[in-house]
Structure 1
């Protein structure tokens, strides 16, 4: 048996790796590759797995660790920060999708409990797939990215009672089992016990184990808690996965939760792969080929249903049409929690084999097309927002709020995006007495800014009407400070088209976007990745007392386009620095054409005029200690100065090349 399971593990790892690499090239998440690997190796295809029961055990461990880690990462504080998106947006989306699915399937002939389970699984989307794609596209902080994250968090939370409801639904059907009231009493008793353990027992136990400073003992204790609570939960009628989630919640509020997550994640990733492979092994290829038109029909229905319900949630929250469309597209698939719920429902006898097979195929298809669906989103949103019919039907969504009155102004600054960068820019504009207009599509930010008296417009800057309303044609400068790279490109193109003489400044995250945005029409592009690297190496060089003029020269070269300087190894490391309490010692290099080049120290009078003293001069390989007033300075000389930091900085311009 040991040899058989090792053979199966090798087959699973090998196939998962090959399919995962192939799918990675076409930007499909590895999770889909694991499922496809299971299909290939499963009994309905090549039958490469000799011990499917053993694989199921590994898959169950994977689900236990997955749910345990989710419980560990649960944070009430993060939930509160996006509470409106989570509570209102998520509740609206899940409720609409579940109710419509339950009604449709029940009318189509499904039993009551079967219809409820299908409503559960259809209402959930894939957190892993969506967040991975949005992160790779740099859209996680965009309005539709934040909204999608909020709805996904609610879905992950509501999946907990959905999983708990499976035994209840089974007791309502024909499958027998304990009475509903008995199952409910056992569940409530278990939850009460776990709450007491989490509050009074677990912190003390974790502290005692952590005091040993043994990573092995800590990992062993955490895994023991996970599996023991999961085992106890099974006696209360809950699934092992549900028990593992409760185990994670026990530890999540302690100061040791981050350490526990770090230890569990590698095991979780390995064993979770077995779960998705086992899902693929259950997929009947023959059933799919024999019912392909039925599968395609349900695929179209579910995609449309998920899009409409997610878009409706975004619309009710007051978002612009572009965010509504992109959010609906991003959440139009079925999620990984749905696999767990459906498999549990199959084991309890709620779902039939044919219904389960149809669900697996449709769910896998929705996840597989998600990367391509999301990639086409900006084009679809742009077409709809610019179409005359939609602009007439939804003028406030596609352009701007009709009650807003266009301000007659010229030569002003247009700030697109009212996040941290936009707010700081507003402060700078106020200090400089610069007239400005703000555009933002976050209704909460707009409402708050209006209360503060800011000239802000609620609208989508990728549409011409909003830019016209902000007076882009008469503006002097426009700054695009949003997190959506696709929208940034379109906004720059529209601004340049409507005002060829405007100065366009754009913010982006990565250096790779700089040439793209410049080609579209941006005059200046500020990459956060680049500016962060400059700030980091500046702090490092200053800590090593590298001459200030050398640091400024390097920064100037990089900012002027010499990005290769970050990778250059030609600069020699600085020598040891002096540490004199109350004084600063710096070494400055005389640049070509500097004001002091060719002059003597007596001519310059550094001490009298600037309050700094020359300690020594390094010229070539020679050191000139305590130079007198007749000593002349030449380009390339390294002058060691002492004085306060303010005095040295005041004299810095004398050493710079002119």
Structure 2
């Protein structure tokens, strides 16, 4: 007996709540809890909860809203900075991954040509929805590796179009592949350009007028409707509902209403995306996993290792620091949700077997589950792997890290002239403000960062900088830390800060260190390393705002400062 839709939806949302609570208690991303609880619910209710075709529709809306939110934050101007590298990198990665996989599957798994080809296509793609969710949760969508990964994923999604074109051709056994693919790609280019051109001109204008009505409900309904309209258009021409939702967000990204729409739609997005991630677990067949365990384990391990190595090498050869390459590789090594769509298309056209379909589904879900762990621990993994290779094989370390992470100083001899200076680690928003103050105060300083795009403007000003990972002892030495008066660690990542401080104390026990922490727990970690001056930007901002509030209310700035002094003192011991 099949369950009514409202009962199914209730079970899914309650399951998502339980899975999310458990994952948070275990300090894992909530996505991991959603995926696992989906498998459990599917095993309990079996076919009764997988019969209703409305649930997958709701799940697809969740993916669309995730991508719509990403589009709102990821404007065309920002996209253009990584578009070239992402497009080249994704294209080469998909080609190499599919080519190597096809050879292995046809040769060692004894699969047929079409089964091997579609399985290879499927595993070459990564999960846009999972990665976006994890990047959003970690607030890393605007980081260099975050922008690169989002651009990479969008390029991969566009590459699915020729894959979908090939499946009917395989099924029919006829048709000119070159003409069919060329016609489809030309159509895609024209329609995509028209969508963006018309959208950038008229849609922001409409929503800015809508905002004047001062109705949150209308803004939310308008944003929701726009993402669905664009999704329907791209579903018709690109075979991808999700790409349309992303383009809808991009269209609105240049408008000042994007913040209001993003805020209003966040609760709706989170509910629908929870439905999507839980229903992914429904696709797994426990009996198939048990009977094909060895094959699934081999395929999963093969895919994760292959994609990590291919992506790491491509990103490194594109000129990115190995830290960026490592973080991007761990975020993109999973098999994405488009593998499900390809597999379903293959089944419906009769070009792949049920066995291949279940292989794709099982490998995809397991890889998605592992990705949530890999991404949440990626910075730790990078440090451990780098230190491990350095300690065990200097040859391997030089071949990988030294080769790709060559230090760059802004002008010859800068490192030898730096004495009694300030070493500033991190050139983000906080670092840039500190640098401006030091420059106006005529204090000598050198900047260290592994994102060359933020350092590039310093070339024009002749400001000394070192391009590289400050976790490396040799990078700190290049900045002449042993002769420095002060080390300012202005990065928010406590794990990296901890490594930097330990290395710095090894190089110079006398250098004074100022650290940055995102919360009191991170501040305690830095305090335990002997760093007395640890700044929490949000806490300091709250004190500054409170001072203005108290002065306004009390009319006595001195009394207000006394209260804030007591709060600050209590916070430092909390």
What residue in structure 1 maps to residue 395 of structure 2?
A: 389
Q: Note the 1:349-498 alignment, pairs <5 A.
A: 349-374=350-375, 375=377, 376-377=380-381, 378-385=383-390, 388-393=394-399, 394-395=401-402, 397=404, 400=407, 405=413, 406-407=415-416, 410-498=419-507
TM-score (norm. length: structure 1): 0.72
Structure 1, residues 300-344: CA drift from partner, whole Å, max 9, x if none? 222122222332233224344444334333333233454455445
Residues 72 and 252, structure 2, Cα contact 8 Å, conserved in 1: no
Q: CA deviation at 1:547?
A: 0.8
What residue in structure 1 maps to residue 520 of structure 2?
A: 511
1:147 maps to which of 130, 144, 148 = 144
Check 1:114–1:493 CA distance in 2 against 1; reply closer, same or farther (3 A cut): same
The separation in 1 between residues aligned to 2:31 and 2:302, in whole angstroms, is 23
Structure 1, residues 625-657: CA drift from partner, whole Å, max 9, x if none? xxxxxxxxxxxxxxxxxxxxxxxxxxxxxxxxx
Secondary structure of the residue aligned to 2:482 is: coil
Structure 1, residues 163-189: CA drift from partner, whole Å, max 9, x if none? 544541222111589994897798789
The separation in 1 between residues aligned to 2:453 and 2:208, in whole angstroms, is 42
Moved more, 387-396 or 356-365: 387-396
Check 1:396–1:555 CA distance in 2 against 1; reply closer, same or farther (3 A cut): farther
Secondary structure of the residue aligned to 2:446 is: strand
Check 1:317–1:446 CA distance in 2 against 1; reply closer, same or farther (3 A cut): farther
Check 1:500–1:137 CA distance in 2 against 1; reply closer, same or farther (3 A cut): farther
What residue in structure 2 maps to residue 20 of structure 1?
A: 20
Check 1:3–1:494 CA distance in 2 against 1; reply closer, same or farther (3 A cut): closer
Check 1:136–1:263 CA distance in 2 against 1; reply closer, same or farther (3 A cut): closer
Residues 410 and 471, structure 1, Cα contact 8 Å, conserved in 2: yes
Check 1:39–1:215 CA distance in 2 against 1; reply closer, same or farther (3 A cut): same
* Paired residue total: 557
The separation in 1 between residues aligned to 2:463 and 2:77, in whole angstroms, is 26
TM-score (norm. length: structure 2): 0.81
Check 1:384–1:469 CA distance in 2 against 1; reply closer, same or farther (3 A cut): same
The separation in 1 between residues aligned to 2:256 and 2:138, in whole angstroms, is 33
What residue in structure 1 maps to residue 571 of structure 2?
A: 563
Secondary structure of the residue aligned to 2:535 is: strand
Residues 20 and 34, structure 1, Cα contact 8 Å, conserved in 2: yes
1:97 maps to which of 93, 98, 110 = 93
- Structure 2 unaligned runs (5+)? none
What residue in structure 1 maps to residue 55 of structure 2?
A: 58
Residues 147 and 327, structure 1, Cα contact 8 Å, conserved in 2: no
The separation in 2 between residues aligned to 1:68 and 1:326, in whole angstroms, is 25
The separation in 2 between residues aligned to 1:59 and 1:241, in whole angstroms, is 14
* 1:4 aligned onto 2:4: yes
- Structure with more contact order per residue of length (Cα contacts < 8 Å, sep ≥ 6): 2
Check 1:490–1:115 CA distance in 2 against 1; reply closer, same or farther (3 A cut): same
Q: CA deviation at 1:504?
A: 0.9
Check 1:256–1:478 CA distance in 2 against 1; reply closer, same or farther (3 A cut): closer
Q: Note the 1:241-280 alignment, pairs <5 A.
A: 261-262=262-263, 264-280=265-281
The separation in 2 between residues aligned to 1:51 and 1:359, in whole angstroms, is 21
- Structure 1 unaligned runs (5+)? 568-658
Q: Which has the larger radius of gyration?
A: 1
Q: CA deviation at 1:100?
A: 1.9
* 1:161 aligned onto 2:158: yes
The separation in 2 between residues aligned to 1:94 and 1:150, in whole angstroms, is 13
Structure 1, residues 373-421: CA drift from partner, whole Å, max 9, x if none? 3424122233335553345435354673599654165433222223343
The separation in 2 between residues aligned to 1:317 and 1:400, in whole angstroms, is 16
The separation in 1 between residues aligned to 2:486 and 2:452, in whole angstroms, is 24
